[in-house]
Amino acid sequence: MPVITCIDDLKRLHRRRAPKMFYDYAESGSWTEQTFRENTTDFEKIRLRQKVAVDMSNRSTRTTMIGEEVAMPIALAPVGLTGMQSADGEIKAARAAEAFGVPFTLSTMSICSIEDVAEHTSKPFWFQLYVMRDEDFVDNVIGRAKAAGCSALVLTLDLQILGQRHKDLVNGLSAPPRPTPRTLLDLSTRWRWGLEMLGTKRRTFRNIVGHAKNVGNVQSLMSWTAEQFDPQLDWAKIRRIKEKWGGKLILKGILDEEDARKAVDVGADAIVVSNHGGRQLDGALSSIRMLPPILRAVGDQIEVHMDGGIRSGQDALKAVALGAKGTYIGRAYIYGLGAMGQAGVTRALEVLHKELDVSMAFCGRRDINDVGRDILYVPKDFEGEWQDA
Is 240 annotated as a binding-site member?
Answer: no
| 156 belongs to an annotated ligand binding site | yes
Phi, psi angles (nearest 5°) of residue 329? -115, 140
d(C-alpha 242, C-alpha 262), whole Å: 14
- Tell me if 130 sits within 8 A of 156, measured CB to CB: yes
Which residues, in sequence order, are CB contacts of 169 under 8 Å at separation 6+? Answer: none
Is 25 annotated in some ligand binding site? yes
Sign of dihedral through CA atoms 151, 353, 59, 307?
A: negative
CA dihedral 132, 133, 135, 137 (to 10 degrees): -50
To the question of whether residue 328 is assigned a binding role by annotation, the answer is no
353: annotated binding-site residue? no
The span from the CA of 137 to the CA of 210, in Å, is 11
49 is in an annotated binding site: no
Instruction: Consult the annotation and say whether 333 binds a ligand.
Output: no
Residue 120 burial (CB count, 10 A) = 15
Q: How far apart are CA 339 and CA 334, in angstroms?
A: 8
**Any binding-site annotation on 80?**
yes
For residue 310, say whether it is annotated as part of any ligand binding site.
yes
Q: At what angle do helices 257-266 and 287-298 cross, to 10 degrees?
A: 50
276 among known catalytic residues: yes
Cβ pair 307, 330 in contact under 8 A:
yes
Of 14, 276, 305, 353, which one is the catalytic site residue? 276
DSSP secondary structure of 228-292? HB-TT--HHHHHHHHHHH-SEEEEEEE-SHHHHHHHHHHT-SEEEE--GGGTSSTTPPPHHHHHH
Distances (CA, A) of 105 to 8, 76, 153, 183, 299: 23, 6, 9, 29, 23
| Single-letter amino acid, residue 72 | M
Was 167 annotated as part of a binding site?
no
Whether the bond between 78 and the residue before it is cis, its omega within 30 degrees of 0, is no
On whether 165 is known to bind a ligand per the annotation, the reply is yes
Q: Is 346 annotated as a binding residue?
A: no
50-56 long-range contacts (CB < 8 A, ≥24 apart) are 50/362, 50/363, 50/364, 51/362, 51/363, 51/364, 51/375, 52/364, 54/364, 55/366, 56/361, 56/366
| 276 annotated binding-site participant | yes
CA 204 to the chain's CA centroid: 20
> Is residue 305 part of an annotated ligand binding site?
no
Q: Which residues are catalytic?
A: 276
Residue numbers belonging to the annotated binding site for glyoxylate: 25, 165, 276, 279
Residue numbers belonging to the annotated binding site for FMN: 78-80, 107, 128, 130, 156, 252, 274, 307-311, 330-331
Residue numbers belonging to the annotated binding site: 25, 78-80, 107, 128, 130, 156, 165, 252, 274, 276, 279, 307-311, 330-331
